[in-house]
Amino acid sequence: MSDSHVSQARLLDRDRECEVLDRLVVETRAGQSRVLVLRGEAGIGKTALLEHLSAAAAGCRIARIAGVESEMELAFAGLHALCAPMLGRLGQLPIPQRDALNTRPATITSSKGCRRS
């Protein structure tokens, strides 16, 4: 069985959600900025939906993070997890996005643990 058949089998009765994800990819490829927050109870198919999205977005850079309850009290832990691996590419961003990340809180460090100025 091919990967597409496996993906479809996992996503029974999720046509509406898949259409939303597919539209997100089309709009992103057209240059529009998009963010996806996917949340819900364990076992409802979040991972399968993310796999569908990843397959639809082949060739795109995808950044995924997961919230961890033990980090709830750490300011900007999610932002750090999202941005730290990409700090070396700041110069490739358009100026507004680069400026926004350069004004980030001082708590964000590079993936090697060195504070960025």
Q: What is the pLDDT of residues 50-83, one digit of tens each?
A: 999 999 999 988 888 877 888 888 877 888 888 8
What is d(CA 62, CA 54) in angstroms, rounded to the nearest whole number?
8
Residue ranges in the chain modelled with pLDDT below 70: 1-10, 104-117
What is the residue whose two structure tokens read 């400026």? 99
Dmax (CA) for the chain in angstroms is 51
Single pTM value for the model: 0.61
